[in-house]
Structure 1
């Protein structure tokens, strides 16, 4: 056990060092001449002569080589020196600190919304002693923040005019961003606690306390204390999810936070500012994970800190098979109808037309048919998600046999939301479908890897393998004929259930301009393009928004139906389903990330 912990720690440090090195070497990894980028930022009219570029390289220290640049950047970090912005020429640290303060305020407000929503979902279970948050909470947890932010801006800001829709000038400006960011997290937290409480309230000690006349309030408080320690790591992941979701929410509402700062720096190739912003976001994620671990240790107490405290198996949330079938039928019908139309035909005389028989979902700002772009965008979004899903499956099957290595690397992967990885990848290879797929693939494997590791451990400990060894079966025979078939089936079904969530993660990167580029009809990009004329043609924004909402509903209902049928666990049984529940139904699985 000590050796496994040591290996995991070494892997964690190696992965962290690799991420920091990638951030430090961004000027060289970007594939573009940093001197040319600085020259264009300082003066767009100045000619890029070799002499001018050489002077800029000498001024920035780029002529010393990548290793010297990395050492110079790293040596300044302990002193708070993050360099000078290539665009504005000002120090990076004040901009990072200002953006971080705004983001922390927004995340604190969003976490308050999440806690209030979670309490509302948990309260009926505590009162009745049974029940579940059900599909409603799971649906809230699966809705991407950028989609909820767009709908909130459209309904509450544009149509009803209740609240301001952009800026950061007072408490009222915080309401819509905090709701958009906090509702999915609240749905996740409420779902986790409410689903675990009924099994805890059925435990023997609750019956004894009630028989002894202990008040219902005290029993409820003790049940919550029993529930929380195993779920605290999931709460930490939800807080890290707020970091990634803040990038999209800050972009929608023009909030000057650290996420919007990082995204703007990536698009303008202001690499020193991007380095500082990404470093701040990474540190925020790691600190959040450390705080979650400390809270868990505090809740467990000295006697149980070394114990593997787990919850009783929660009752699966059952759903009728008709729900995912109906959602899939609606999506397939819309996509099939759209595939029969031309998504690239431009007709400027038909701009922003309302829905009609000729254009069932109206037209966009260039007169292109929205239904056609929606249908062809499904092929791009879901096809790329299928490739990412396959890559994650193969990687998780390999890492399932290396649990110590996987656990160390997964800590770093969980501290980086897909949006932050997308920003880094876009800075290196440029925005595009391939870069977005790579970013999601780099972070989508931990849940599948944990599932595979649990199955491998269980199969290896089974008695029939001991019998195979006793009769002289070779390790390769046991691996290929027994272990892999027992592991591959359940993990493959788990990977398929994650497909809609991966598609939503890709759509979020497209919405931020980090994924597919115009004129590609990708769903997230369609939603981003329609924001410019959302007041004149709301149907152009509602079409991809409804499609993404249906995709989120399909992810939740399919996962719930499979869980009710025991579809995730395979031959792993109750123990495996308990291990994989967090990975199959949490926000990370349905969004990516």
Structure 2
């Protein structure tokens, strides 16, 4: 009883720190959003007036009337204080563009996005179970696990959500007519969007579980349970319980973020969700709905973070609190030789595409060769302007890969530093995990203007959350293990614990996670470039090739096959590298 009370007393400062972090993060975020019209470099009255009436040449009197009506001359902080003061009364203000109350709009969009998120969560769990089922079955029967994730999982994880959404809408909505291809009219409208969002997320989560299971099955208790005659199913559940506890924080930035980050999918299916509402409000500089949507996303992130934390503690039990966790073991499973062959084949294929494309002109326009199918003259076909797709793929490879690697490296370093801070940074992680990268891109563009580096900064500002959540979870489990407590009792200081215990336990798993998410960084950068916030045309870039050719998917599917295939090859190469890295770790 005494140890329990002391543990609870020691945890109170951490809870206060986490709560303070949530308040500070939410306040900073809302303040930054409020400053958007004043930072954008354009007259907010002009933007709002154009959104209202599409008038391109308003008079100074009209602009002055709009400024007076909206109170723009009073400054951002007066507006923020007035908006916050109305929230306790259920008043979130009125839209600057439509003049309608904001709260009903945001509540309706939040309900739609939350329903869609729950459907995507079901799909995510099913796909993750299928991806990790083989390793779970073999490990529970004391058979050697495969040692590498399947190529199918890498393919699914690399699928661009907006491209998958367009494909599902075309095949199952338009051609077959099984489900609605547009709108939000009932449960049937949720099927295709949930699949588009949940399949790549499930492959990502399943890949993380699949990589963590072999280490769980090499722990001593597994041999003991087999010797005692426990059934494989019970052993599988026990191993899965500990493994899921380490992967569970990834649900926060991967699944919960779908509420605000599913803008492209919402546009494809014409769904009135919260992410689309926030994006439209940010583009129109319609501040009241943008502030309210941002607050709803932040509150959702905090609630989901608390739920994930409670589930982790329920799975790990009092051992996490009392320091009774067993020392984690590194995976002793050696990846099969085929993993190296797969990695080599993917690398050679990508190299061949890059070299062949680099010998061609990516900017040559031939209007007589628009949307030509693959041929000897154009191995990957041509786009809507008659440009050679192989040339654009080859010339965009170095820029795409280097920028994605740089963004991922910065995100990993930031995630490690904030994750090792523990509960202090937990609130910031929860708040930022649900924020759409597009909205952050609009904020950075308002300050620095549209550029590839502004888009990279926007991705870094939200891209660190998966690594911070994973680092915090793994370091918490490591600190609760017996060998760390023994080191502390022997006088080990913080530097020794960090260098000898925490980093060796955390860093390999975080780096494997970064490899799995590398194609995702490419796609997020592409979505920002497509909206005019990042890489500008006619610069060739893989993700931009996908985005600008997506409207021609039904008419000329080859326009997206090259860049999509390159992303799949990159994803398989990354997953193979993660499997090889697991053995070295």
TM-score interval, normalised by the smaller of the two chains: 0.7 to 0.9
CA distance in 2, matches of 1:250, 1:513: 18
Match of residue 277 from structure 1:
293
Residue in structure 1 matching 2:113, options 103, 123, 139: 103
- Structure 1 residues 177-216: aligned runs within 5 Å: 177-197=193-213, 200=216
- 8 Å CA contact 1:125–1:194 kept in 2: the answer is yes
State yes or no: 1:532 paired with 2:551: yes
CA distance in 2, matches of 1:70, 1:271: 10
- Structure 1 residues 352-367: aligned runs within 5 Å: 352-367=371-386
- Residues 256 and 118 of structure 1, relative CA distance in 2, 3 Å threshold: same
Specify every segment of 5 or more residues in structure 1 that has no aligned partner in the other structure, as ranges: 470-474, 567-593
Superposed displacement of residue 253, structure 1: 2.5
Match of residue 149 from structure 2:
134
CA distance in 1, matches of 2:403, 2:221: 50
State yes or no: 1:79 paired with 2:96: no
Superposed displacement of residue 62, structure 1: 1.0
Match of residue 569 from structure 1:
none
Specify every segment of 5 or more residues in structure 2 that has no aligned partner in the other structure, as ranges: 1-9
Superposed displacement of residue 240, structure 1: 2.2
Give the alignment's TM-score, normalised by structure 2: 0.79
Q: SS state of the match for residue 100, structure 2?
A: coil
Match of residue 185 from structure 2:
169
- What CA deviation, in whole Å up to 9, does each residue of 1:399-456 have, x standing for no partner? 68866755554444434353453354456655542332111111334566776997x9
Structure 1 stretch displaced more, 378-387 or 533-542: 378-387
- 8 Å CA contact 2:392–2:540 kept in 1: the answer is yes
CA distance in 2, matches of 1:97, 1:144: 28
Superposed displacement of residue 266, structure 1: 3.2
CA distance in 1, matches of 2:69, 2:244: 54
Superposed displacement of residue 540, structure 1: 0.9
- 8 Å CA contact 1:509–1:524 kept in 2: the answer is no
- Structure 1 residues 426-505: aligned runs within 5 Å: 426=445, 431-445=450-464, 497=515, 500-505=519-524
- Residues 213 and 382 of structure 1, relative CA distance in 2, 3 Å threshold: closer
- Structure 1 residues 296-307: aligned runs within 5 Å: 296-301=312-317, 305=321, 307=323
- 8 Å CA contact 1:247–1:260 kept in 2: the answer is yes
- 8 Å CA contact 1:338–1:371 kept in 2: the answer is yes
Superposed displacement of residue 385, structure 1: 2.5
Q: CA RMSD in A?
A: 4.4
Q: SS state of the match for residue 169, structure 1?
A: coil
Match of residue 574 from structure 1:
none
Superposed displacement of residue 393, structure 1: 6.3
- Structure 1 residues 192-591: aligned runs within 5 Å: 192-197=208-213, 200=216, 220-243=236-259, 245-301=261-317, 305=321, 307=323, 309=325, 312-313=328-329, 315=331, 318=335, 320-389=339-408, 391-392=410-411, 395=414, 409-416=428-435, 418-426=437-445, 431-445=450-464, 497=515, 500-511=519-530, 514-566=533-585
Structure 1 stretch displaced more, 327-336 or 147-156: 147-156
- 8 Å CA contact 2:250–2:466 kept in 1: the answer is no
- What CA deviation, in whole Å up to 9, does each residue of 1:370-392 have, x standing for no partner? 22222233243223324434544
Number of residue-to-residue matches in the alignment? 554
Structure number with greater CO (CA < 8 Å, separation at least 6) is 2
- 8 Å CA contact 1:240–1:417 kept in 2: the answer is no
CA distance in 2, matches of 1:270, 1:233: 33
Q: SS state of the match for residue 262, structure 2?
A: helix
